[in-house]
Amino acid sequence: MTAADMKLRDQRIVLLGGTSGIGLATARAALAVGASVIVVSSNAERVADAVNGLGERTTGYTVDLKEQSAVRGLFEQIGPFDHLVYSAGDSLQTGALAGMDLDTVRQVFDVRVFGAIAAVKHGAPYLRPGGSVVLTSGVASLRPQRGWVALAGACSAMEGLARALAVELAPVRVNLVSPGLVRTPLWANLPDADREALFAASGEALPVGYVAGADDLAHAYLYLMTNRYITGQTVAVDGGGVLV
């Protein structure tokens, strides 16, 4: 355990989207260095599974992050805490804009962007001194592919949001992790064969030679929570994907 990791010992970390993928991996990493975690999802079964799997120093809440009143009530129940991590997101919605209903585009923004705004709005008053917020976007903002208009738009919005919040909420630190391709349930809407073909081809093209798992991303969140001299920054964790 490093000196930086020790800074999280006995601290409370709220993870919205903390029951699967990157959020769950970050919860595990935080527990390993002595923090307590509160995981939140709209899926009650995933919340129960996460709490059971993570074990001691873990509590969970089932909350629809699209409902502002529910988000406000969540933080009223939680009370004071030290760090807020937002990694919630529905399955990836891709496709050409010409054939995509605007309601689908709005759905991409509902959880990823407006859910994050609501979480920070209602969670920030409960952050203890020295606390932080770590948000999530994606390198689609830097290297969009065909059919990624909605996704790239939401990721770009999150980067601007993080910078603006770092100014508005100071001295609370606000940063953002921008993952590349990661093996998480967000890709579950693809057929198994197509998903594995995507991971294989992408891994061969990346400078690091493989597609990350969620654990590879978790350390970036802990770093942003513990480094008290970084704010308003976007940290890309993408295996060098924006380079190729």
Q: What is the pLDDT of residue 108?
A: 86
Average confidence score pLDDT of the chain = 93
pLDDT-derived band at 41, boundaries 50, 70, 90 = very high
| pLDDT tens string 170-217 | 999 999 999 999 988 777 777 888 888 888 999 999 999 999 999 999
194's CB contacts (< 8 A; 6+ apart) are: none
Residue, of 43 and 1, whose pLDDT is higher = 43
Helix residue ranges, H only, 15-146: 21-32, 44-54, 68-78, 102-109, 115-123
Q: What is the pLDDT of residue 164?
A: 98
Whole-structure pTM value: 0.93
Q: What is the pLDDT of residue 94?
A: 74
Q: What is the pLDDT of residue 1?
A: 62
| pLDDT tens string 49-103 | 999 999 999 999 999 999 999 999 999 999 999 999 999 987 666 778 888 888 8
Q: 132, 137, 141, 178: which is the annotated catalytic residue?
A: 137
Q: What is the pLDDT of residue 95?
A: 76
Please provide the DSSP assignment of 180-240 as one string.
Answer: -SEESGGGTTS-HHHHHHHHHHHHHHSTTSSPEEHHHHHHHHHHHHH-TT--S-EEEESTT
| pLDDT tens string 3-37 | 667 799 999 999 999 999 999 999 999 999 999 99
Please give the structure tokens belonging to residue 225: 């929570």
- Torsion angle defined by CA atoms of residues 142, 143, 146 and 148, in that order, rounded to the nearest 10 degrees: -40
Among residues 211, 203, 155, 208, the alpha carbon closest in space to that of 182 is found at 211
Rounded Cα distance between 211 and 181, Å, is 6
* 42 a catalytic residue: no
Rounded Cα distance between 7 and 182, Å, is 27
SS3 95: coil
What are the extents of the domains in the chain?
Answer: 3-186+214-237
| pLDDT tens string 111-128 | 999 999 999 999 999 999
Rounded Cα distance between 211 and 196, Å, is 11
Work out the percent of the chain whose per-residue pLDDT is above 90: 76
| pLDDT tens string 131-174 | 999 999 999 999 888 888 988 999 999 999 999 999 999 999 99
Q: Which fold has domain 3-186+214-237?
A: Rossmann fold (3.40.50)
